[in-house]
Structure 1
Amino acid sequence: MFYLVVILLACSICINIFLIHRRLKHKAEVRYIESKLKAIIDEETSERLLLYTDNNQIKSLLKQINRLLEHNQKTVADYHNVERSIRKMLSNISHDLKTPLTVILGYIEIINNDKSLSTEKMMSLLKTVNLKTLEVLELINRFFELVKLESGDKKLSFSRIDICEISRKIILDYYEILINKEFEVSIEIPEESLFVRGDESAVERVLHNLISNAIQYGSDGKMIGLKLRKDKDNIYIEISDRGKGIGEVHKERVFERMYTLEDSRNSRYQGSGLGLTITKRLIEQMGGSISLESIPFKHTTFTVCLKRINF
């Protein structure tokens, strides 16, 4: 009997020691988690909580904390990307507004102060002022269109659209320009009607943006292509040129707000950097996508993918 009591007492002591050790170990683990989490937050690092433990509750807690850290770090990174994008956008739009406004103010000052101006010269200056004013207005309109698209205020009206008919109509709008610039034109549009679900004015805007972009930036290649193809679920619109192309480093960024290539700041390649961003947002709102493939002076192709309607 005595030995049994001693054995039970020893077992009880061992169990208590084990429980105390486990409790102390868990407290130490919690303290580690607390201090490590504080360091990650204070130092804004991209670390994760790594801890070997046999406690399933702590394992589950660590998993959820790491998920939260990952989400928070992604949110912070997205915020900084947007912040940088906005700063660049404001810088670029300031540049693009400053140039024509400087011309407008300079010419108006000449008209007001130079009393010896002939009527012909004055009319020439006023014509330039008018063109520069329209340029400023177009940039402002594009800027606010993009703001409305990204805020969700611009609602699209969806309907069944014959994309072949719209494509023919839009390319014909550029007939005189292409003839005057002596462009080779390659058009591949099926005779049959192909239908997509989208907003007609948005589809027209997308085509206008991409074709005018190909004419402006692909002028060195003297060629523009418009091709429609299909598969079971989608319609693909390819607009191509053989111009100077877009380098690999720029390919993913050309759709960013106000992003322009370095040479887009000279007189040959001037642009606001908003056209392709608006194009991408409109396509995405219609449930589609846009991609770019470019080999300088061989082909630069923007491919728009829209959902096909088979009835």
Structure 2
Amino acid sequence: MSEAAIIFLLILCIILLFSIILYQRFHFKKGIHARLKEVSDKLEDILISGSDEKVMVFTDDSALMELSGQINLLLEGYQKIKVDYRRSQAASKKMLSNISHDIKTPMTVILGYLEMIRLESPEENELLEKVEEKARKMMELISQFFTLAKLEAGDTSLELSSVSLNECCREAVLDFYELLTQKNFQVEVDIPEQSVCIMGNRDALGRILENLISNAIRYGGDGKYLGVFLHSDEKYVYIDISDKGKGIDKAFSTRIFDRLFTLEDSRNQEIQGNGLGLTIAKSLANQLGGDILLKSDPHILTTFTLKFRKLIY
């Protein structure tokens, strides 16, 4: 065999060996990629479904086996936290139910006694009326607190049906008519004649509008103005509740719906309200698949906008 033939065979062997090495590396990387994708998909399924499964990987690669072991340890910790949370949530619901009964019952009795004393002692009516007013505010706060607690715990089921927002807005304004008249508010209402409907819950929508209008009167009362506007586009329907009061500083705009957040630093310099009305309104709107947006120009116009997907027949 000639020297040229030997060189050619050596080159051919080197090329063949190099090709085998490249193929093995490619096959190895492809196998690793497939196993990693398998682990990723399984982990995603476990997290979405909330099941107590573990990640199983059939491979001889020690690094992959170690990785799956570490993932399973993390899953065990996550699943334990989830179980503890469920137990804590169940205990909290039971505690809230007991507290509700324990507080509401004596407060109801106290209000009853106050009314009896007021009727029997006309000369002390003024003082008793003030005490009775404070007691009723306490009852209102307790009621709002437990309403929010039920909403946050997912204990409130809202039955959905077709609801006319035109009627809801008219009723909400009429409910405050006497108060608005007493306070000499300028009221501007724009509700179209054509029916605008959403899939919602009439009671929940009434509660949302009541809280928003009450908030506008209480905190924006210095502007002596209330605006209620219903409008829509191709996809969404909007209800604007506006006032011309002191407004809400931009620094507080992201916190205004937080539980127990009061407007002590935004609309005035003293604590007002209990910080639950807007939180309840926001939570109810979210449960109905909507949202509440805020835009505020102090002393010009502050607007809370209810936004829902339009029901198209």
Category of TM-score, reference length = shorter chain: 0.5 to 0.7
Once the two structures are superposed, residues 209-258 of structure 1 have per-residue CA deviations (whole angstroms, 9 ceiling, x without a partner) of 00010011111111111111111221111101110000011001010010
Structure 1 residue identity aligned to 2:208 = V
5+ residue gaps, structure 2, are: 1-60, 86-102
SS at match of 1:243: coil
Report if the CA contact (8 A) 2:252-2:266 is conserved. no
CA distance, structure 2, for counterparts of residue 287 and residue 266 of structure 1: 32
**RMSD value, Cα:** 3.9
Match of 2:230 in 1: 228
CA distance in 1, matches of 2:180, 2:146: 30
TM-score normalised over the length of structure 1: 0.62
Q: What are the superposed Cα offsets for residues 130-182 of structure 1, whole Å, 9 maximum, x if unpaired?
A: 21111111000100000000000011111100001110111011112112211
Q: Which runs of 5+ in 1 are unaligned?
A: 1-54, 80-96, 112-117
Residue aligning to 2:13: none
**What pairs up with 1:166-245 in 2 under 5 angstroms?**
166-245=168-247
Matches of residues 66-77 of structure 1 in structure 2 within 5 Å?
A: none
Distance, in Å, in 2 between the alignment partners of 1:213 and 1:164 is 21
Partner of 2:166: 164
- Is contact 1:264–1:270 with CA below 8 Å preserved after alignment? no
**Which of 283, 296, 311 is 2:285 aligned to?**
283
Alignment of 1:25-174 (within 5 A): 119-174=121-176
- Percent of paired sites with the same residue: 46
Change over 3 Å in CA distance of 1:192–1:266 after alignment to 2: closer
SS of residue in 1 equivalent to 2:194: coil
Q: TM-score, normalised by structure 2?
A: 0.62
Give the distance between the partners of 1:244 and 1:264, measured in 2 at CA: 8
Amino acid at match of 2:245: G
For the 8 Å contact 2:264–2:271, the answer to whether it is kept is no
Return structure 1 stretches of 4+ with deviation > 3 angstroms: 118-121, 263-269
Question: Higher relative CO (CA 8 A, sep ≥ 6), structure 1 or 2?
Answer: 1
One-letter amino acid of the structure 2 residue matched with residue 122 of structure 1: E
Per mean C-alpha deviation after superposition, the further-off stretch among 258-267 and 296-305 is 258-267
- 2:20 aligned partner: none
Q: CA deviation at 1:126?
A: 2.1
**Which residue number corresponds to residue 114 of structure 1?**
none
Per the alignment, residue 21 of structure 1 pairs with: none
Q: How many residues align?
A: 223
